[in-house]
Amino acid sequence: MRFRLVVVCLLAFGCVRLPDGPGTTQTVVVTVTPPTPTPSTGPTTGPGSACPNIPRMRVSFFGFRPGCANPPRNGQGILPMDCVADATATPIGVDGNPVPSTVHGFNITWASFSSGPGRIRLVEDSDNPFNRVAIPDSVGEVTLSATLTPPGCTGSVTGEFNVRVVPAGVRS
């Protein structure tokens, strides 16, 4: 874990540059520190359980920015090169419903990675740390990942969304 943080810091400050091309992986990690904690009934954990009240994270698009002619459906997992999408991560409780922020907190880390040529830049959405603006850089398969470490939990919850970046005008 410590090694990963050092590598991310070196990449963020431009000390190391990853080669572009097939077979390389690029990761963008943004960690948002939660505001001053407020009293809540937070998740409860048992011995050896990471966070039983938040078993999964849903990561998906929830819209496309103006200028995207004929956008694909949000859950389709397609991002045309001529479109910019809004992505979101939603902590899901054991009942299948979204968990309130008073329970899950704000310690979330986002990443975009690919083993091929596909690239998506994730830009912070100043309104909500659980949202990112997804900007396609190159055609190919990309995975968007969001990892949440809820307060009071011994582990984290990660959700992934597989996206196919396609040429402009393609919708399938």
The pLDDT of residue 50 = 66
Q: With contact defined as beta carbons under 8 Å apart, do 146 and 32 qualify?
A: no
Structure tokens at 68: 């995207």
The pLDDT of residue 172 = 67
Among positive and negative, which fits the CA dihedral 152, 146, 99, 92? negative
Distance CA 94, CA 112 (A): 27
Structure tokens at 93: 């409780």
List, in order of start, the domains of the chain with CATH numbers: 26-35+49-166 (2.60.40.10)
Amino acid at 103: V
Bridge partners, 145 (sequence order): 111, 160
pTM: 0.69
Residues of the chain with pLDDT under 70: 1-50, 172
CA angle (24 as vertex; 19, 29 as ends), nearest 5: 90
Which residues have C-beta within 8 Å of that of residue 55, sequence separation ≥ 6? Answer: 92, 93, 94, 157
The pLDDT of residue 110 = 95
pLDDT tens digits along 33-75: 333 333 333 333 333 346 888 999 999 999 999 988 888 988 8
